[in-house]
Amino acid sequence: MQFRKLETREAVRSHIITLNDVRSWVVLDTETTGLDFRQDRILDVQLSGVEPESAVLFTADFINELGNLKGDMCLVGHNLGFDLKMLHSAGCDLTGFKWRDTMLMHHLIDEEASHGLDALVQKRWKDDYKERFWAQFDEYAQAPDDRRLDYACRDIFYTEKLYRELCLELGLGGA
């Protein structure tokens, strides 16, 4: 796994331009101060990396750069509706994009199962990174930068793995 933080607007823009050239879909996630899109705010945004098993993180200061994603890019996320609402509240409207939500896709496979990313990652890959993170920190913002980077980018890494597997399980072909 390769995770990195993009520190400048130019770095975020360059990453998105490269994604536009090499990918037809991208995993997107946000880390926020809470779950109320009307009053909470975005702290960090994460995207798929260009290389396999990679992801990038950048602060909410650069969310408007997401508008540079090509119009036919498919956005993939876990509970993506929440992220899109948070981004819209912050002035970044991505509602015109095609999208796929791994939480909803998993529900199609087993409606009785837990569909949270934590439960799916623990069941499929035996990684309890979320549990360990939240045992140590009460809020995402309390964590040091290196721990935030690892936590948030693992969300992208596992959502991408989950998306690829669910596409096969649902007969949607290769992602």
- Distance, CA of 107 to chain centre: 18
- Other CB atoms within a 10 A radius of the CB of residue 165 amount to 17
Residue 46 pLDDT: 98
The whole-number average pLDDT for the span 87-115 is: 94
Domains of the chain: 2-169 (3.30.420.10)
How far is it, in rounded angstroms, from Cα 94 to Cα 97? 6
Strands 2-5 and 54-59: parallel
111: pLDDT confidence band, cut at 50, 70 and 90?
very high
Mean pLDDT taken over the chain:
95
How far is it, in rounded angstroms, from Cα 41 to Cα 36? 8
174: pLDDT confidence band, cut at 50, 70 and 90?
low
- For 12-69, the pLDDT digits (tens) are 999 999 999 999 999 999 999 998 888 999 999 999 999 989 999 999 999 999 999 9
Which token pair is 19? 């994604």
Q: What predicted TM-score, i.e. pTM, was given to this entire model?
A: 0.95
How far is it, in rounded angstroms, from Cα 165 to Cα 157? 13
How far is it, in rounded angstroms, from Cα 116 to Cα 78? 8
